[in-house]
Structure 1
């Protein structure tokens, strides 16, 4: 009996249901169980009375989760699926439930007027505090008979993190996919009395140095996953743009989230923030020191 578990957060939206179906595929791939969870502050009748909310919402929430679970069991009859509701702040509840589980899967839900912003406030807040996969409402991942696509991982050649690379290599290995390791960089500007000048003529040398650093950082995870085909991709134009450009058609995008403490809480870095908002592929955010 497996002890691994994939957690999917549902809020009743079509995006979250698509995320649950995606999570089911991941759980099946991992040989893990699937837990469908709805978190909302007002679920019990006691809370309803204190907050002047009508009725007890827990049965309705469980019924909605059960319908999604039944759909999943039709396509994955051997998958263990359980449902649960939790009376809590959505962000706090999801983060707490995610502890010790393989991954947390959420659907993107950008409800503002900007179509390029794909992640809602809850998903973004959870991504700042826990490992999370964010899934837009796109078709499910390929089947085993479909042509292999790519897993894309963003690599900072100055401060790479082994946890991010290990996660990306493991995901590519499970999928039988190629891993594209992307490093985006900007040439150091030159300055003169008249202000900033174009990059120097030794640009090819700088690019060669960046490419060598990327290869060096991939040496250890490559040795641990010898069956994974790796494409080393060095691009000029900044880290976020490089990852987003490379992610078109990707099966998964993997980025790191450095622990950033602020008086108002943990914050996402600019690259993670940009990729989460604008990627049309699923995004895995892997925390690291």
Structure 2
């Protein structure tokens, strides 16, 4: 049975932010936290050369970070582990034993050419456990907490369930977002949106979204779950709606031909400033 939360630490600012977020989440859930530092040559080469210096420092820092977290969250069980393994392989191997994997990501935020760390992307694309990517520059929460979740259709049940369960823990509102696009048609002036059909199309989209969230509403009656449809496509809609979110939840289909993030999840982890949870689902 999966238990606890696992997070990766390499001494960077983004990994320290991820560990801090993971500790708060573990305390909220009442589960232990496991901090992993992995490097293929951690054993034999640890004392040799400048390449090993960052890893020697990270090992020392991880113990200090763990102690600070125990002080900040009394009663939280924190364990640290050093593994002589590739970080992606180590985290993917640990993921099924845990309820959540939390990793750091780096970048400029917004649409300014953000780069997410390769370890975070690889784990998020392949893990069978939900993965959270946390920035070291994430804005501090302001006002009532809100979780934004991207909803494609009724296949998003697992994604909505995660968002609502998290909202119950945090006392947060859930905003379920679905992006859609008008189908243009040709006129003498060029391609034009079918204005006469747009209202009908929007009504259909709203009805489908309400149908998709109905099971989550029934399962979590105490959660304030609101729906929102936006024209402009799914990725654009989610990133726009998540501008002031405290947490963003997206789905990833597990059975793609090759392990990868879909376009919506890819946009979220690259452009949303809040922590992003990638939830695998059928």
Confirm whether residue 124 of structure 1 aligns to residue 121 of structure 2: yes
Structure 1: how far apart are the matches of 2:52 and 2:173?
51
- Is 1:288 aligned to 2:281, yes or no? yes
In the other structure, the counterpart of 2:146 is 150
State the distance in 1 between where 2:236 and 2:54 align. 43
In the TM superposition, what is the alpha-carbon distance from 1:118 to its structure 2 partner?
4.4
* In the alignment, structure 1 residue 38 sits paired with structure 2 residue 31: no
Query: C-alpha separation between the residues in 2 aligned to 1:269 and 1:215?
Result: 23
CA contact (8 A) 1:149 1:249 kept: no
Q: Distance in 2 between matches of 1:126 and 1:3?
A: 17
- Does the C-alpha gap of structure 1 residues 115 and 39 become closer, same or farther in structure 2, counting only changes over 3 Å? farther
Secondary structure at the aligned position of 2:17 is classed as helix
CA distance in 2 between counterparts of 1:160 and 1:132 reads 19
Cα distance, 1:48 vs structure 2: 6.5
Q: Deviations over 1:152-200 (max 9, x none)?
A: 000013x532111111110111110000000111112224699743334
| Cα drift, residue 208 of structure 1 | 0.8
Say which SS state the counterpart of residue 42 (structure 1) adopts. coil
Structure 1 residues not aligned, in runs of 5+: none
CA distance in structure 2 between the aligned counterparts of 1:16 and 1:58, rounded to whole angstroms: 13
* Per-residue deviation, 1:107: 0.8
- Between the aligned partners of 1:156 and 1:236, the Cα distance in structure 2 is 14
Q: Give the structure 2 partner of residue 278 of structure 1.
A: 271
**1: distance between equivalents of 2:121 and 2:270?**
9
Q: Which residue of 1 aligns with 2:207?
A: 212
- With structure 1 as the length reference, what TM-score do the two structures score? 0.87
Identify the residue that residue 105 of structure 1 maps to in structure 2: 102
Q: 1:48 and 1:59, CA in 2 relative to 1: closer, same or farther beyond 3 A?
A: closer
Partner of 1:11: 10
SS in 2 for 1:128: helix
Cα contact 1:44–1:57 (8 A) shared by 2 = no
The partner residue of 1:221 within 216, 220, 225 is 216
Shift of 1:53: 8.4
TM-score, normalization by structure 2: 0.89
The answer for unaligned runs of 5 or more in structure 2 is: none
Q: Is the 8 A contact 1:6 1:35 kept in 2?
A: yes
Aligned length: 278
Of Structure 1 and Structure 2, the greater helix share is in 2
CA distance in 1, matches of 2:115, 2:188: 43
Counterpart pick for 2:234 among 228, 239, 257: 239
Give the deviation of 1:249 after TM superposition. 1.8
**Structure 2 CA distance for aligned equivalents of residues 87 and 253 of structure 1:** 33
1:54-108 per-residue CA deviation (whole Å, 9 max, x = no partner) reads 7799765432210110121221121000000111111111111111201010111
